[in-house]
Structure 1
């Protein structure tokens, strides 16, 4: 039976449940970003999971919660890429069939990875909402269990395990800057952090354009917006046809939401490559952009940036580096 509430005990249970599959990721101080921000800045390296993205936490918690009959029937999901990879990887490890529904906008690097990880790929439509419709059809006609990318208590609790790790490694943290799309990541981290350290600030950052959660919060209701090409392709997609959790949780937990431009995202990607010799995808680079653009106003307390993923198509990496190089010198 679906639960209608979520609290910190769910996050602790998720941590125990996923421990056999998911390892703690490093928290690394960035000297360059600390100098730019005027306060200590740390990077939470969610890029270091086996699928190079945080999504594996929530997928693991949800799939491990299924009973044997549900596992035998198989699972399905809709995704902009990383969640599909996560479901495919976890399902493969547990011997569960998985069908991954994506739109035609999902980069080839991610669709190819989904297939390598053992997922059966369904490409359907031009948006995540259309991919979701295909996923619902598979649930109805084939009896597969849908593993939501974000609006599910088990998925949210799984992502919240990041917040527990942050509090262990940096109990004095002041702010956490989090890529924001459907809101599962911010909801989980926000729940874990705010429950234990209510004075901490939770900041969501999205790309300019189809930032559905950002504009939905401003309107006070969930909106539907057309997707368009962006360097932060992992942040594309709507809030689901019947959002039950993340819209309200993000509204309660986020102290601020910010938007960054495509140029600023490109500069974030280039910055990580230049200063940390690390490839991050556009969604992760939005957090770097929030610091470099100075749209985030820090205080003296430490700031953590969630580097959500590293699944960047090589052509997109080249495009971002060229875009950044053609604009200005390194902001730092």
Structure 2
């Protein structure tokens, strides 16, 4: 079976050097005290486009040949991959088309437009948006660079794992947001390639966790996409999934699901205690620790994966106001 190796990830790091930020990892005194072990936060939400996705998108674009670059790129996205791909394509003077469902928040649409990409809004799920991607590939010859199930995307995201284990070499546990699995698979391959005893746990929301449902079923399955505070974790993994399902199955030590109140608590803690603004998907690692759903007997690294939250929603969450409009 084709997979992404540690060598692939190291090659991706060389390829994207100078195109992405090497983000810091800092200790969290409040979480460390709560857990009784050192807890470190990987501040990837400070990445250039506000999320980790720039790593995979930059590696994928850099891996294209001249003919493919001339054709332009297309992808389905819940927002952050689209923004990253738009940024990477703009740097290379390439056409980019981003297809999204109606569930994608407006602030993410605005940023993608600002970067000059074309936007297509199709249906109520990422699977619906993917159908438009496939039409554009067939009819206009665009090159599809999917958000997770692609070797260059996975290898690019895996560069985070290299940084995390280099910054905290004695880490016993790494917490990673889990959606389609590109991030979790890449980080797990990197971390376990360097430090085989370090555990990697995927964290997702209870509302529409496609990878968790697929892992439980033993095969990729369809899951209804529902509104959630962790909107970046929405969408399916694809019934024809080639890479991330098997890699997550083989490399992740566990998967933890969170309800909406727990995710909101993670966002609030990040702001009030860590002085960091993160979106729901970026806060799930913190949320899992606060909810007591993850235990550790040694240093923990928690990935804060993105900050692209609607600020009005963030204010409501921080102030403890009703959040039913995103979670109903």
Q: Give the TM-score taking structure 2 as reference length.
A: 0.96
Find runs of 4+ consecutive structure 1 residues off by over 6 angstroms.
none
Q: CA RMSD in A?
A: 1.3
Matched, 1:81 2:74: no
Shift of 1:324: 7.4
Structure 1's 225 and 323: CA in aligned 2 closer, same or farther, altered over 3 A?
farther
Partner of 2:249: 251
Deviation string for 1:186-220 (max 9, x for gaps)? Answer: 10000001111111000001111211111111111
Partner Cα distance (1:319, 1:216) in 2: 33
Partner Cα distance (1:320, 1:220) in 2: 36
Gaps of 5+ in 2: 324-328
> Which of 155, 177, 182 is residue 179 of structure 1 equivalent to?
177
Matched, 1:315 2:315: no
Deviation string for 1:44-70 (max 9, x for gaps)? Answer: 011111111000000000110000111
1:129-278 mapped onto 2 (5 Å cutoff): 129-278=127-276
Q: Give the TM-score taking structure 1 as reference length.
A: 0.95
Secondary structure of the 1:141 match is: helix
Partner Cα distance (2:219, 2:321) in 1: 35
Partner Cα distance (2:113, 2:322) in 1: 34
Matched, 1:304 2:301: yes
- In the alignment, is the contact (CA less than 8 A) between 2:220 and 2:239 conserved in 1? no
Partner Cα distance (2:299, 2:222) in 1: 35
- In the alignment, is the contact (CA less than 8 A) between 2:222 and 2:239 conserved in 1? no
Matched, 1:58 2:70: no
Partner of 2:88: 90
- In the alignment, is the contact (CA less than 8 A) between 1:266 and 1:324 conserved in 2? no
- In the alignment, is the contact (CA less than 8 A) between 2:101 and 2:129 conserved in 1? yes
Would you say how many aligned residue pairs link Structure 1 and Structure 2?
A: 323
Secondary structure of the 1:62 match is: helix
Partner Cα distance (2:239, 2:316) in 1: 33
